[in-house]
Amino acid sequence: MKGYLGIDVGSVTTKMVVINEENEVIADNYLRTGGNPVKVVQDGLKDIEGRLDQAMPMEAVGTTGSGRYLAATLVGADIIKNEITAHAVAASYFIPQVQTVFEIGGQDSKIIIIRDQVVVDFAMNTVCAAGTGSFLDHQAARLNLPIEEFGEYALRAHNPARIAGRCTVFAETDMVHKQQTGHNREDIIAGLCQALVRNYLNNVAKGKELLPPFVFQGGVAANRGIKAAFESELEQEVTVPPHYVLMGAIGVAILAREETALRGEKTRFKSFEVAEADYRTSSFQCSDCPNSCEVVQLSLNDEPLSRWGSRCRKWEV
The domains found in the chain, sorted by start residue, are 3-85+248-277 (3.30.420.40), 96-240 (3.30.420.40), 278-317 (no CATH)
Radius of gyration of the chain (CA): 21
pLDDT tens digits, one per residue of 170-185: 677 777 777 667 777 8
Q: How many helices (H) and strands (E) does the chain have?
A: 9, 13
Percent of all residues in the chain with a pLDDT value above 90, rounded to a whole number: 45
Q: How would you class 105 by CB atoms within 10 Å of its CB: exposed for 0-12, middle for 13-18, buried for 19 or more?
A: buried
Q: Which of 288, 279, 284 is nearest to 45 (CA)?
A: 279
Higher-confidence position of 242 and 141: 242
Residue 210 has pLDDT above 70, yes or no: yes
Helices (H), 204-279: 224-234, 247-263
The number of beta carbons lying within 10 Å of the beta carbon of residue 202 is 11
pTM (predicted TM-score): 0.86
DSSP string, 136-181: HHHHHHHTT--GGGHHHHHHT-SS------SSHHHHHHHHHHHHHT
Mean pLDDT score of the chain, rounded to an integer? 87
Higher-confidence position of 15 and 191: 15
Least confident stretch, 30-44, 105-119, 181-195, 232-246: 181-195
Cα–Cα distance measured from residue 9 to residue 6, given in angstroms and rounded to the nearest whole number: 10
pLDDT tens digits, one per residue of 267-317: 999 999 989 988 888 888 998 898 899 888 888 888 888 887 788 878 876
